[in-house]
A and B are shown apart, each in its own frame.
Chain A
């Protein structure tokens, strides 16, 4: 392990990550007025991004492999039902995660 090179790698990863997060603020973050199109985009992007993140989290699921992604399908179903029913984020995330852990460790383990 080369300490200097390791620090270099970490610094590059840190700077690139920060720059990516800063792009919208660098481009539109000055004191001037933000164009309406960007403002509207900012308000309608979150739902599209959240849907994409759900797919991103489940991207590794292989429906042809053993289990066919049933543990994921059932757990996502439980999460949706729980949240429609109680709309309590802690309950939903907690029980949904327990459900998935149970399924993946026992039924589909």
Chain B
């Protein structure tokens, strides 16, 4: 009996691992870049490890290095974090029911909901042979492990990387583009994709590259809600 349980967990981890390989590449590299940057700012490997364990937010951690070296106030730090990571408010809406039934793992699942983990959990179609909760948990945990490992490597040995890594961060862009292609092909999701693109491009032009994402996502949510309402009243009037 115990062997069966073990085997099942093994197949869950294996399946989760295969899903995370595209993120592994990007997280190891970006984590390394963060560790190296932090090391150069005078904070050794334990800082890199600790920050990647408790903050765990890609672009925010790079900003954090400048906040640390500049001696920012706590209020400034809070404002900056709300500003940069504000987009994460929207992520949980797709996982409320899925996470709620995960018991002890629930808080960790909420904590570890980064852009990349969100993307993988949205795209992964979990076969009936493996446990959905286990797979979701391992995808989340493995991703953070890559990020922490990268941070530690960067902090200890970032200067030793001999080949030119310029452009390797494009792997995250490629992942998001590929997922958009998948969602487009699924057909029913085309309208949200179009709304997402139009809204973000509009606010990018209006507000500039550093400030567009929050208004853009808020507008997208409003448009989706309005369309739903209209569709709802149409189906009501037709019945």
Binding site for B on A (CB under 8 A): 1-2, 5-6, 8-14, 16-18, 20-25, 28-29, 31, 34, 37-60, 71-72, 75-76, 79-80, 83-84, 87, 89-90, 92-94, 96-97, 100-101, 103-105, 109
Does A87 contact B182, Cβ atoms closer than 8 Å?
A: yes
Q: Which residues of chain B (153-189) have a CB below 8 Å from chain A?
A: 164-168, 170-185, 189
Does A48 contact B196, Cβ atoms closer than 8 Å?
A: yes
Residues in B whose Cβ lies below 8 Å from that of A46: 94, 118, 122, 183, 189, 192
Binding site for A on B (CB under 8 A): 21-22, 25, 42-43, 47, 50-51, 54-57, 60, 64, 67-68, 71-72, 74, 77-78, 80-82, 85-97, 99-100, 110-111, 113, 115, 118-119, 122-123, 164-168, 170-185, 189-197, 199-201, 204, 209-210, 212-213, 216-217, 220-221, 224-225, 228
8 A-B pairs in the complex with CB atoms less than 8 angstroms apart: A5-B71, A34-B96, A49-B87, A49-B196, A52-B216, A59-B212, A101-B168, A101-B170
Q: Top 3 nearest A-B pairs by Cβ distance?
A: A51-B196, A24-B92, A48-B196
Does B92 contact A23, Cβ atoms closer than 8 Å?
A: yes
A83 and B25 contact, Cβ closer than 8 Å, known pairs A45-B94, A47-B192: no
Does A52 contact B196, Cβ atoms closer than 8 Å?
A: yes
Query: Which residue of the partner chain A has the closest CB to B200?
Result: A55
Instruction: Find the residue from B21, B94, B173, B221 having the highest chain A CB count within 10 A.
Output: B173
Residues in B whose Cβ lies below 8 Å from that of A18: 110-111
Does B22 contact A59, Cβ atoms closer than 8 Å?
A: no
- With A45-B90, A49-B220 given, name 4 new contacts (CB 8 A): A9-B67, A12-B74, A93-B175, A96-B178
A105 and B166 contact, Cβ closer than 8 Å, known pairs A52-B213, A54-B180, A57-B172: yes
Q: How far is the CA of A26 from the CA of B228 in the complex (A)?
A: 24
Residues in B whose Cβ lies below 8 Å from that of A44: 189, 191-192, 224, 228
Does B94 contact A79, Cβ atoms closer than 8 Å?
A: no
Residues in B whose Cβ lies below 8 Å from that of A14: 54-55
Query: Which residue of the partner chain A has the closest CB to B100?
Result: A29
Does B81 contact A13, Cβ atoms closer than 8 Å?
A: yes
Does B93 contact A100, Cβ atoms closer than 8 Å?
A: no
Q: How far is the CA of A14 from the CA of B170 in the complex (A)?
A: 26
Does B96 contact A42, Cβ atoms closer than 8 Å?
A: yes
Does A17 contact B81, Cβ atoms closer than 8 Å?
A: yes
Does A9 contact B74, Cβ atoms closer than 8 Å?
A: yes
Q: How far is the CA of A31 from the CA of B115 in the complex (A)?
A: 26
Does B72 contact A80, Cβ atoms closer than 8 Å?
A: no
Does B225 contact A37, Cβ atoms closer than 8 Å?
A: yes
Does A10 contact B54, Cβ atoms closer than 8 Å?
A: yes
Residues in B whose Cβ lies below 8 Å from that of A109: 166
Does B92 contact A54, Cβ atoms closer than 8 Å?
A: no
Q: How far is the CA of A90 from the CA of B174 in the complex (A)?
A: 10
Residues in B whose Cβ lies below 8 Å from that of A53: 115, 119, 176
Instruction: Find the residue from A76, A87, A100 having the highest chain B CB count within 10 A.
Output: A100
Does B178 contact A12, Cβ atoms closer than 8 Å?
A: no
Does B93 contact A42, Cβ atoms closer than 8 Å?
A: yes
Does A45 contact B177, Cβ atoms closer than 8 Å?
A: no
Does A50 contact B164, Cβ atoms closer than 8 Å?
A: no
